[in-house]
Amino acid sequence: MSLLQAIVLGLVQGLTEFLPISSTAHLRIAPELFGWKDPGAAYSAVIQLGTVAAVLIYFRKDIVALVAAFFRGLARKDPFGTLESRLAWFVLVGTLPVGICGLLFKKLIENQFRSLYIIAGSLIVLAIILFVVERIASHQRTLADMRWKDGIIIGLWQALALIPGSSRSGTTLTGGLSLGFKREDAARYSFLLSIPATTLAGVFELKHLLEATDRPSALALWVGTLVAFASGMAAIAWLLNYLRSRTTLVFVVYRVALGVLLLVLLQMGKLQPRSGLENIDLPKEPGKQQIEKQVTD
């Protein structure tokens, strides 16, 4: 992987991780359009650590307050006594579904699910769901109104993001809006909920990436991660400001347009659905030469 590729992929990761348009989809599409080798799910997960750092720094005051309230509540034997301590628990509970599903479907997520057909379908279907939810949502609740049921439901929405093209921020934002939360509050909780899931995924995949024989250089990893951090900080600030006074319609239109464009390019043969995916675990069948050899023998 060249430094130019690392910079482009880091920029794509940072700008799309927090917007409801799927960073995984764009990291899969960009190499295909430029004729590069697919960096793989592991590389995508590792450079996500840059966007995790962006969330940690941008929401550092909120995070310190949540962590302090969590341990203070445990010490006082009143773990749910304050809003901050409850939010900390909601983030932990909301992370369980994506963690469990991620382990159960790891092979599919890293291989077959990265087909551009699946990505295109996810972009379109989740865009339609977001559009419907946006239209019927009350947009009245705040994080102060959050309950256990809300944390679990939004956590289940986050698990859908394991399907490339769904968008982790998109599914959690949709889940928050479906429960009546204001757009900014739904987005803020989405950011907080991203920290455990993306951190664990990045650290887990980093180990496997370093053990692989065909992997990007350490410089490419660092550059991609740092660029993702810088662009991620900008994306967080922009999105929170945008959602204070605007709907998610622009993201719905973008997702549908991108999904349709992908399907058209795939049908025209301009893109290959699984080009560059070399580690797909498919049932092994004897090839023609093997069969002929067996017959001859």
What per-residue confidence (pLDDT) applies to 125?
95
Model pLDDT for residues 220-250, shown as the tens digit of each residue: 889 999 999 999 999 999 999 999 889 999 9
Query: Which long-range contacts link 174-178 to residues 24+ away (Cβ below 8 Å)?
Result: 174/20, 174/126, 174/129, 174/130, 174/133, 177/130, 177/133, 177/134, 177/137, 177/139, 177/248, 178/133, 178/137, 178/153
pLDDT tens profile 124-142? 999 999 999 999 998 899 9
pTM of the model: 0.80
Q: Which structural domain, as residue segments, surrounds residue 216?
A: 3-296
Q: How many domains does the chain have?
A: 1
Longest dimension (CA), the chain: 78
- Taking 50 as the pLDDT cut, the residues of the chain under it are 277-297
